[in-house]
Amino acid sequence: MKKIKILIIGLLMIIIAVINGTIALTTVQAVPTKEEVYENAPKGLNLDDFMLVPSSYKYDSGTATIPSSGSKIYDNSKYPTDIIQLISKDSTRPTQIGSLWGNINTDGSGNRTYNYFDLSRKQEVSAWIYNGDSDASGHVIDGFAFVLQNDSLKDQAISRRKGIPVGGETLGVWGTNNSLGIQNSVAIEFDRIANQANTAAGNLDSNNYSTPSGIIGAAQSMSNKHISWNYPGLLNSYTGTDVMIHKRTPSSLTNNIYMSGYDGVSNRPGTTTDDPKDAWRHIKINYTPPAAGTTVGKLEYKFNDKYQDGTDKGINSQDRGSMDIDTSYFNAPDNKVYWGFTAATGSVGGGDKDKVTSGPADVAMVIEKMPAIVDLKSDVVLTDLNNNETSTITTPVETYDGDDLKFEYTLEYTGGISETGEVKTKMALPDSKYVDYAADSDGNIGAIIYTNADGSVTKQVPISASQLEDMVVTVPGATADDPPTEKTIKGLNLTIDTIKTLKNKVSVDIYGKAKSPANDKVAVTKVSSEHTAYQSDNYTGDVMSPAFTINNDALEITNTNDLDQTLTVNDEAFFQGTIKHSKDSIFDEANNLVATIQSYDQSGKPLKTYKDTTTVVKSGATQGNFDISAPLTGLAAGETYTFKVTFSDDSKRVSNTLIYTVKVEENKKLVITKKDFQKYVVVEKGNALALNVNLAYEDGKSNVDSTKIKTYLKIDDGEYTEAGVADEQNAKTIVFGRSIDTSTLTPGEHTLSVYANEQKENSNILEYTFKVVENGLTLTSAKEVINVKNNNPVTLNWNVAYNDEVDDGSQNVAMKVKQNTLQIKNEGDTEFRDFDIYINKPEANDPSFAKPVDNLSKTPSFELNPIRFQGGNSQMGLLKEGRNEIRFSVKSNGLTSNVVTVYVDVPHLTLQLASPTKDLYTTSVQGSILLDYSYDYLEDQEYLTDLTITPTQLLSSYELNGQSSEEIYAVKQDDINDKNFKSRVWLGEFSGLKVGNDYSLKSTIRDPYNRRSAPYEFNLHIVDKYTKLNVDDAEFKDIGPLDKVDSYIHRQGLWNVSVTEVGTKWDLTAQSDGLSSTDYEGYHKDLIFMDANKVVHNLQGGSEIASQDVPIKNQDQTTNLAKDWSDDEGILLVNQKPDLSGEYQGQINWLLKDVPE
């Protein structure tokens, strides 16, 4: 709990009280006096004339003044530092005001200089403030304020009411709505009393807050002992009439802070007295300038943030806040303003919630840091030298037991009007229980290093281990209510030379080794931050070292092979051992172990660094093995070298170091000789060239270890490439065998060079000559160009022979020819495509028909079919119209042939379909009709589709009644290879056909090359029955002198007396009056009809010629009756008597009629 004390100043009393019959004794301890407090003031700056403390304040008009309570106390013989008192308890004035300001001078050019606050740069102000005794003493001041101002009154700037300086709750900076406070200013107030009595006589702290945007919940209420801020010179900072009601930003409001005396300070363990040092409270102000293009900067404050020795208090004990301020309100074009503090007391306390009285109390300040005098940037960084991880106060790092550590404390001069003077440095080092500050061989643990702005070192002062001394430091309590304790640790008292040049830097580097406390189990030890204080005449500062942790589960490696090795210049140094964690914890799955091998020469100069990531410890294991190496290439024989081996893991821990000593001796000479290689070899390009060599040492005594040998090959003038050794051997002579790739070599002679290398030493070089030929086989084709004359399969004939230049024994082996490459590209294609050879004409049930042909003869032959060829193997249907390019090569016994291209030119032709019939008659809508066709190719009438092979080479398709049929094979009626064929159309494929309707039937044919004819159109008539007579003009033979009277003159040629019929019985009769001379009247010849029975029928009266008793069904049929007449049958001319010669003409009347059923 926070401690409230009952204090009687200056007396030690024993109060005796009787409670329930017993006597209770309470001891009340005297509060330290002001003198004691001043005598124990923290060390601050020598103020000289850097600060202005007005002794009085003028009225706005006239010559009257009001005294200031402020005064300088510069008595270094009595007090440890310069002190400025702002309010005095000893004053008889109940209302007091005081202020202090940085001293700003103006040079001859009107420029403001000296101790100003620069709004364009980061700035820092820090001080120690004494606010009198605790609240329980009965009188407290109203408070104090940190102020930045550009008031025209300069150091006379102070709170005023109607032109008269006033104190009380103004805190020396605030005004009212009609009598504003310090102009062009911003103030952070530390206000003890929340004056909220709403009377005309009282000055009030407003509790009227509006909730800022983004804040959820009600606005925060004002309380006693608060920190807040605003712009004292702005009207909108106030409300009310003649009362000081100023608004503050709720997000920066802090209530219930400890301000006075020893409030919130618990006695240290082992004592009941107040320590006068604890009366001083630290305040720190940081400023960040506006970003480019804006006028809004940031002020941040810390109050009660550290102990007097500089140790940071716990975060819960500190009061912090920040606010965005608009720098345009300063009206300072040069960005230079006054900085300082104001304080006041004497307000009417009628509204105070604690009922305390505002009155005289001591308020004093020690200035610790001023922005314009000396500006130093201080920092401290911890580096784990094992893994190069760095840690700052905000970014802690985990170290491991035994890690080498470096603490680097830096001071950099970043500006100011003065040099620092000698900087006394009191450096409390991280506890030596956890860091071993062991001296180096010179007895030093570090150095002070001075560098210029360019980084060059100007001075280096060693720090001896003997300079370490005991220091008592403050340890913050575990909570805000717990008192601090003290501990003794090692530290250094150092003196740093004055720093005065921009960007010059001083670095104090301290080295140590992480030291984890003894523990059998895995443990992580936290090492706390420690304080360093810098003190000079013009600069005071401090810094905390980074906190860090030490993990005691370090990485440990142990060697299992010799630490001292003797090797040759061609050898590798091997480092073998075990790896584990010091506490035997298990390795996880991704341990990511990295070995680092650093080599050194005999003088200790570092040489090469090797990294190796091959070591992996099985997940879940507590120990693993490593076997790593480093080549001795480049190391001199006769020298001794040092190799240091460490391991690191993904947790960034680094193991202990194993140190190996390697002595390097001269190497033995390695000799390479030929083995089983002909003097001159010819090899086909792409085939491997077999190489075998012997490797031995020149002395003939030492064994050759193939694991230490590398071989190198090159061909012609190329670069040597590593070839390796085929298998592991260890003998006086080992054999190296290698197959040489010839696929990239050009045909012709080549030189192969080979040598061996054992680490640094090379053997002699062997050279071989060999010849590369493009192909070991020669392939030729019977024809280069084949011009296709029909739609039959195209045969391609080839011949395979050995290339005479090849001398590898292949000619003595029976040739086993196989397809190597086989490709085709049809006209219009951009790329060739692969295909295989298949049997084209299968035997019955031949299973090989479905498989590619594997073995070929020396005279391969195969057929390619048109793309839609019927009756052959569909796999070979590859030819199309136009130019077809076939590329073929073969292989046999490891050799390949050249690629030969054959061109198969298929003409582009127009397929034409024709029929002797135009009109078709049928009585059925389901039956079939057999149609007569002929085809031709317009551009080449000799070109044929051989339907004698299979009639399926032509396919017919039909379109009828808006519907299309499937394709139907052509029908060849005889074995004659002509262009006539038949095809059948099935009317049942077409729906919607009706008797009595006429239709258009279109027919198209397609040949094996997918040439398609234009449609041929039939007129299809679906009827109940139909008959039609077709007769042509006809002639009789001439009557010769040998023809007898009354003989019959035969017909000339075959007459056309055709009946087209379907579904009808009919009779055909003929009537004729005979023939008459066209030249002479009265000359006449009769016509008769001679039937099959040789019965003569005179046509003059008409005669039946033929009849049909059984109707033709389905499809119409046309019969030429004259075709069945012999020369002595049918219609004949009667040679009745000799007549005059000449032409005779006549007419035959035909009558075809249906016969009723």
Q: Which of 68-77, 106-115, 382-391, 545-554 bottoms out in mean pLDDT, i.e. has the lowest?
A: 68-77
- Residue range 670-773, CATH number: 2.60.40.650
Give the mean model confidence (pLDDT) for residues 6-30.
37
So what's the pLDDT on residue 666? 73
Q: Which CATH architecture has domain 34-209+222-264+323-369?
A: Sandwich (2.60)
So what's the pLDDT on residue 851? 83
E strands, 640-747, in order: 640-648, 658-665, 670-674, 681-684, 689-697, 704-705, 709-715, 721-722, 730-731, 733-740
pLDDT over threshold 60, residue 54: yes
pLDDT over threshold 90, residue 696: no
Q: Is 168 helix (H, G, I), strand (E, B) or coil?
A: helix
Give the mean model confidence (pLDDT) for residues 788-796.
92
Residue with more model confidence, 687 or 867: 867
Residue with more model confidence, 84 or 945: 84
So what's the pLDDT on residue 705? 83
Residue with more model confidence, 254 or 857: 857
Share the mean pLDDT of the chain. Answer: 84
* Residue 466 CB neighbour total at 10 angstroms: 10
So what's the pLDDT on residue 561? 93
Superfamily of domain 555-665 in the CATH hierarchy: Immunoglobulins (2.60.40.10)
Whether the CB-CB separation of 1088 and 1132 falls below 8 Å is answered with: yes
pLDDT over threshold 90, residue 903: yes
pLDDT over threshold 90, residue 1114: no
Give the mean model confidence (pLDDT) for residues 739-752.
87
- For the chain, the structural domain boundaries read 34-209+222-264+323-369, 374-550, 555-665, 670-773, 777-906, 911-1022, 1026-1154
**Number of residues that make up the chain:** 1157
Give the mean model confidence (pLDDT) for residues 886-906.
92
- Give the domain 911-1022 fold: Immunoglobulin-like (2.60.40)
Instruction: Give the pLDDT confidence of 561-606 residue by residue, as tens digits.
Output: 999 998 877 788 999 999 999 999 998 877 789 999 999 999 999 9
Which residues in 715-752 are b (16+ Cβ under 10 Å) and which e? beeeeeeebebeeebeeeebbbebebebeebeeeebeb
HSE (side-chain half, CA atoms, 13 Å) at 383: 9
The C-alpha atoms of residue 890 and residue 802 are separated, in whole angstroms, by 11
- Residue 849 is given by DSSP the state G
So what's the pLDDT on residue 976? 63
The C-alpha atoms of residue 988 and residue 925 are separated, in whole angstroms, by 6
The C-alpha atoms of residue 348 and residue 333 are separated, in whole angstroms, by 39
So what's the pLDDT on residue 218? 40
- Residue 1080 is given by DSSP the state S
pLDDT over threshold 90, residue 538: no
So what's the pLDDT on residue 974? 65
So what's the pLDDT on residue 1041? 81
What's at 952, amino acid-wise? T
Beta bridge partners of 367: 127
With cut-offs at 50, 70 and 90, classify the pLDDT of residue 169: confident
pLDDT over threshold 50, residue 242: no
With cut-offs at 50, 70 and 90, classify the pLDDT of residue 506: very high
| Nearest 10 degrees: Cα torsion 850, 854, 856, 860 | 50
Nearest to 913 by CA among 844, 1041, 1015, 834: 1015
Written as six digits, the tokens of 1086 are 């009769």
Q: What percent of the chain has pLDDT over 90?
A: 45
CATH class for the domain made up of 374-550: mainly beta
What's at 96, amino acid-wise? Q
- Give the domain 777-906 fold: Immunoglobulin-like (2.60.40)
* Residue 401 CB neighbour total at 10 angstroms: 23
Sign of the CA dihedral 480, 485, 491, 492?
Answer: positive
Instruction: Give the pLDDT confidence of 385-434 residue by residue, as tens digits.
Output: 988 888 876 778 889 999 999 999 999 998 888 888 899 999 999 999 99
Whether the CB-CB separation of 765 and 754 falls below 8 Å is answered with: yes
pLDDT over threshold 60, residue 245: no
- Residue 327 is given by DSSP the state G
Q: Which of 23-32, 343-352, 758-767 bottoms out in mean pLDDT, i.e. has the lowest?
A: 23-32
Beta bridge partners of 761: 758
The C-alpha atoms of residue 889 and residue 65 are separated, in whole angstroms, by 120
Give the mean model confidence (pLDDT) for residues 815-842.
90
**Max mean pLDDT range (314-323, 357-366, 464-473):** 464-473
With cut-offs at 50, 70 and 90, classify the pLDDT of residue 210: very low
The C-alpha atoms of residue 1036 and residue 1034 are separated, in whole angstroms, by 7
| Nearest 10 degrees: Cα torsion 46, 50, 53, 58 | 170
The C-alpha atoms of residue 146 and residue 185 are separated, in whole angstroms, by 10
Q: Do domains 374-550 and 911-1022 have the same CATH topology?
A: yes
List C-alpha distances in Å: 1098 to 792, 1069, 1095, 1102, 1144.
Answer: 58, 12, 10, 7, 18
Instruction: Give the pLDDT confidence of 1145-1154 residue by residue, as tens digits.
Output: 999 999 999 8
So what's the pLDDT on residue 352? 46
pLDDT over threshold 80, residue 992: yes
The C-alpha atoms of residue 1034 and residue 1070 are separated, in whole angstroms, by 14
With cut-offs at 50, 70 and 90, classify the pLDDT of residue 250: very low
Nearest to 915 by CA among 942, 935, 945, 930: 935
So what's the pLDDT on residue 16? 31
With cut-offs at 50, 70 and 90, classify the pLDDT of residue 351: very low
> Any idea which residue has 């590798």 for tokens?
572
